[in-house]
Chains A and B, each alone.
Chain A
Amino acid sequence: MMPRNLSGPLAGRSRISGKTPFLILIVLTVILASGCRRTPEPVRETRFMMGTLVEILVYAQGEDAANAVSRAFSRMAEIEKATSCRIPGNDVESVREGEGALFSGDAARILQTAISAAVASSGSFDPTLGELVDLWGIGTDRPRVPGEVEIRDALGRSGYQKIPESGRFPPGEKLWLDLGGVAKGFAVDEAVKVLKDSGVGAGIVDAGGDLRTFGVKPGSSPWKVGVQDPDQSRELAGILEAGEISIATSGDYQRYFEVEGVRYHHILDPATGRPARSGLKSATVLAPDCALADALATAAFVLGPERGLDLLEKRDGVEGILISEDGIYHTTSGIGTRFPFRKKQP
């Protein structure tokens, strides 16, 4: 900016009127200060576990941060060992083999969340579909479309009502649990707890899209969480802004195989034993904890746009974005108000 009322050569006596020098100094100071303030780089670590890629990102430095991240991964591995139906020697295997088991600790808490989601969704989420999941083999190297009889028989052996309330499974009664629909979210919650207890102020634990943010980001801006566009793997359907949130998405694009042009995805409808055809392509759920978000995302996907929204609206602190096959976004009342949501421009 040139000084006003300039008279004579620049080297000579000049005249600047008003408080312009003050203003310039203030503005330059603000600009320089904002330029100098560097946002600390996050520490990011990834590991393959729980059948997906887990990423932990923390805004903290030094050995303590690295140790905290390592402890969080260890906690997640512990939960996977106790609850995965693919890892032998745990209670899930004992129940599948009819050896009986008394669920306790992590497994009991996960089971409790799973039952609660099953009851709330009238069985649209069911943690006893392990045999059906195995029959379809989606996500393995031997996916196939099972026969009607196989599906009917496996359905007959499933049902969340068969889970004893006490968590004590008697010997001789076989039940093929698949707690994957809750365990991943639960592990995310526990990892966040470990990080917080270790003094990490802010970060994200992300288990293949089931994720939880915590703390305040440097600069105090809200966390920005993208929601995957179910039709284009490279695009986002939109971006949510929030403080601490737990979020999970179920979609037909995540794991699937195709036979004669028909896509068979991994979210099975407990009513039919087949991949759910509810008119949805994805269901994203925000909840007070990630375990619940995980289970409700599956339930909402199976229920479809209307009944799915109804399920989510009825629960305190739960919001959702359901994207149907025709590209319509069905959102609960808190999306856009409680949680700002910037939708992808068509």
Chain B
Amino acid sequence: MDIRRWALDSDFKVTLTRPRFTDGLLLVLLIAITILSPRLLPVRSEGDTVLVRAGESVFRIPLEENGPHRVTGPLGEAVIMVRDGEAWLENTPCPLKICEAMGPVRRAGDVILCLPNRIYIRVEGREQTDAVSR
């Protein structure tokens, strides 16, 4: 864009003078904010949906949909409870109940895994990490 032509054609008159110190400061500040903004944002948000994999079937449950959701794995039926933006497993037929002991999930990237009954729950949303070594 030719700023001089723009200035002539518009109602504004632009007088090009030496930039002031504050102009430079403003530029640096805005560029810094632009570059750093992804890092300043909260990186691990509350999720809004849980992805469920039970055996071979995959589906999603909105975290605002309170109530029990029944799922079936190779060992039998289990219940995914959703309440107030959290989800957890109940009444699982697996022997050790480690998945129930994991408690509720809420934040993006949170996972519940029941290996014996092949049920996997993951909260979807903006995640803090690309993967987790567990």
Interface residues of A (CB under 8 A from B): 1, 3, 11-23, 25-27, 30-31, 34, 46, 48, 51-53, 55, 57, 139-143, 204, 206, 208-211, 213, 217, 223-228, 233-234, 236, 239, 247-249, 251, 254-257, 284
Contact = CB atoms under 8 A, between A and B. Distances in A.
Interface string B4-23: 00000001111111111001
B133 A210 contact: yes
Given A15-B15, A139-B115, A236 B132 contact: yes
Contacts of B94: 141
22 contacts: A13-B11, A13-B12, A14-B13, A15-B12, A15-B15, A21-B14, A22-B3, A26-B27, A30-B31, A30-B34, A48-B55, A53-B113, A139-B96, A139-B115, A143-B95, A204-B131, A211-B133, A213-B131, A224-B129, A239-B128, A239-B129, A251-B134
A63 B37 CA distance: 34
Contacts of A27: 26-27, 30-31, 34
Interface stretch (B60-68, B77-85, B102-110): B102-110
Max chain B C-beta neighbours (<10 A), residue from A16, A19, A55, A57: A19
Given A31-B30, A234-B110, A18 B20 contact: yes
A48 B134 CA distance: 16
Contacts, number: 133
B116 interface: yes
Interface residues of B, number: 42
Contacts of B27: 23, 26-27
Contact of B96 (A143, A209, A213): A143
